[in-house]
């Protein structure tokens, strides 16, 4: 006879009520025999196929989401550019500096959720993912509230640092419109990490395309048809950014994640301090990377006659920005794959996942490296009709190509750090390599030795190269069996039984 409905329901809830038994770490030199035998039976080809299926299940939607978000900014900039040069300058100032600052903090802090949810999913501590999500909402919402004065007082802050008062006044208006966008980012970033960890992020792809379509249509309707100007563009942006946020909330709340979302819980109010520490480490790690290219622009802007150099550099960074969406997608996928396997207690599969994603991303980077070396300045005509700017872009193309090649490896290694929970270590590495090596070298090459924008870029590339080498050495030298133990200790420490609300008994784990 078949099982009763009640029995089936009890079985489906079992992972929520009982902690998953943790495998004992293998003795030194013993290895994971059964796992090695299983891998030998599967064969390398089968393992690669299975691993790439898991990789692209996360990477594909993540890349689409990043392209969509970047596309919203580009569409907004295009419509604002048709309103007037002052509005365009103000929008560029706010989106390049203010939004990169706030998004860097929020996205970085949300990546702590990628670590915790990914490891919990691998360990089958399903209901803890919903609790981590709620804790992250609390922490990131608090962070967004603390940043409100920056958005409210943007105009006087810009005037204080010497920006044009007319541009600052318009930037102050735009920054206030960004407040609801910031709170939408809190929902979007956290839910993306939560859904990616359980490979249920195909919904993110659909919402990303809907987001892009809604923004394009509303921007045209409100600015061209109804002539609402800047108000129309910013209204469209606010609506477009809340489309994926509300869509993901509905998806989760309406039962699409029955094991990992069991409703709001008072447990979300506990253990906030360790989550906050990990979130802050994650925020610092990612911010130091995102602000790096901003400093490249600022250093170039202080040169004599910087117009052509800035135009050429902005085109190169635009192209690099689109390519970075692929790299950030792989960063997210790497974090999920490493976290899942460490949570599941498999050091061998974690190492295999790392090797596979590095090889995949680097292969794509090599292809793009060759493409940009071949086409060089020809790509600039997509953005400009100026021969002088095109020549400058052609001159910078080799540096752009090398940047793209490094981008194919460096974010993946950062993803390894996110999956393993090394954010604080990488933050120190970023400070040293980017801000104590890359920027000073760039300033010396650009200003002292007279290589101008090329010198600045070369110096910062060297900083990125050193950072990549350091992260690669850390990854290679890591004892992944030890990382499994560390992961399981973290999961054991923060694990709570859903039905009792107290630390679970896990023996010696």
3-state helix/strand/coil string of 478-508? CCHHHHHHHHHHHHHHHCECCCCCCECCCCC
User: What one-character DSSP code corresponds to residue 380?
Assistant: G
**Residue 304: its pLDDT value, please?**
56
Q: Evaluate whether 283 touches 108 at the Cβ level (below 8 Å).
A: yes
**Residue 179: its pLDDT value, please?**
95
Tokens encoding 38 = 């299983």
DSSP string, 418-446: HHHT-HHHHHHHHIIIIIIIIHHHHHIII
Neighbour count for residue 483 (Cβ, 10 Å) = 20
Tokens encoding 360 = 């995949």
**Residue 36: its pLDDT value, please?**
62
Say how far apart CA 488 and CA 345 lie, in whole Å.
8
**Residue 12: its pLDDT value, please?**
44
**Residue 192: its pLDDT value, please?**
93
**Residue 404: its pLDDT value, please?**
86
Quote the pTM value.
Answer: 0.79
Q: Evaluate whether 400 touches 320 at the Cβ level (below 8 Å).
A: yes
**Residue 349: its pLDDT value, please?**
92
User: Mean pLDDT for each 10-residue chunk of the chain (509 residues)?
Assistant: 48 40 41 58 83 90 85 85 82 79 86 89 91 95 95 91 84 94 95 92 88 93 92 94 95 93 90 84 74 66 58 72 83 91 91 93 91 75 68 80 87 89 85 86 85 82 90 93 88 59 37
Say how far apart CA 351 and CA 347 lie, in whole Å.
6
**Residue 492: its pLDDT value, please?**
80
């Amino acid at each position: 006879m078949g099982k009763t409905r009640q029995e089936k329901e009890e079985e489906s809830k079992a992972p929520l009520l009982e902690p998953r038994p943790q495998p004992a770490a293998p003795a030194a030199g013993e290895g994971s025999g059964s796992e090695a035998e299983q891998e030998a039976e599967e064969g390398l080809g089968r393992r690669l196929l299975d691993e790439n299926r898991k990789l692209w299940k996360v990477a594909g939607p993540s890349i689409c989401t990043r392209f969509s978000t970047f596309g919203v900014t580009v569409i907004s900039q295009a419509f604002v550019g048709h309103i007037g040069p002052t509005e365009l300058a103000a929008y560029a100032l706010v989106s390049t500096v203010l939004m990169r600052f706030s998004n860097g903090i929020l996205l970085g802090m949300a990546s702590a959720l990628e670590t915790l949810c990914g490891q919990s999913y691998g360990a089958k501590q399903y209901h803890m993912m919903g609790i981590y999500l709620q804790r992250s909402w609390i922490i990131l919402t608090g962070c967004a509230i603390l940043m409100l004065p920056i958005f409210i007082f943007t105009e006087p802050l810009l005037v204080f640092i010497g920006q044009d008062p007319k541009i600052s006044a318009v930037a102050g208006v735009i920054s206030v419109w960004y407040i609801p966008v910031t709170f939408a980012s809190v929902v979007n970033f956290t839910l993306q990490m939560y859904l990616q960890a359980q490979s249920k992020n195909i919904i993110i792809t659909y919402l990303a395309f809907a987001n892009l379509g809604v923004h394009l249509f509303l921007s045209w309707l409100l600015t061209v048809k109804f002539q609402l100007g800047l108000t129309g563009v910013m209204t469209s942006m606010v609506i477009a950014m809340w489309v994926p946020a509300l869509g993901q909330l509905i998806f989760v709340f309406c039962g699409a994640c029955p094991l990992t979302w069991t409703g709001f819980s008072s447990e979300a109010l506990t253990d906030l301090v360790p989550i906050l520490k990990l979130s802050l480490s994650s925020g610092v790690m990612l911010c130091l990377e995102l602000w790096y290219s901003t400093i490249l622009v600022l250093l170039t802007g202080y040169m004599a006659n910087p117009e052509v150099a800035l135009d050429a550099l902005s085109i190169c960074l635009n192209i690099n920005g689109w390519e970075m969406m692929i790299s950030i997608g792989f960063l997210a996928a790497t974090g999920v794959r490493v976290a899942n396997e460490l949570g599941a207690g498999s050091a061998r599969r974690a190492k295999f996942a790392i090797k596979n994603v590095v090889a995949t991303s680097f292969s794509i980077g090599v292809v793009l490296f060759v493409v940009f070396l071949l086409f060089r300045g020809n790509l600039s005509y997509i953005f400009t009709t100026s021969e002088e700017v095109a020549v400058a872009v052609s001159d910078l193309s080799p540096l752009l190509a090398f940047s793209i090649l490094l981008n194919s490896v460096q974010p993946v290694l950062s993803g390894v750090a996110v999956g393993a929970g090394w954010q604080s270590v990488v933050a120190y590495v970023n400070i040293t390599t980017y801000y104590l090596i890359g920027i000073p070298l760039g300033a010396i090459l650009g200003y002292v030795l007279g290589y101008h924008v090329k010198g600045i870029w070369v110096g910062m590339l060297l900083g990125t190269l050193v950072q990549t080498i350091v992260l690669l050495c850390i990854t290679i030298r890591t004892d992944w069996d030890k990382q499994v133990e560390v992961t399981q200790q973290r999961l054991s420490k923060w694990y709570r039984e859903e039905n009792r609300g107290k630390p679970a008994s896990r023996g010696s784990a």
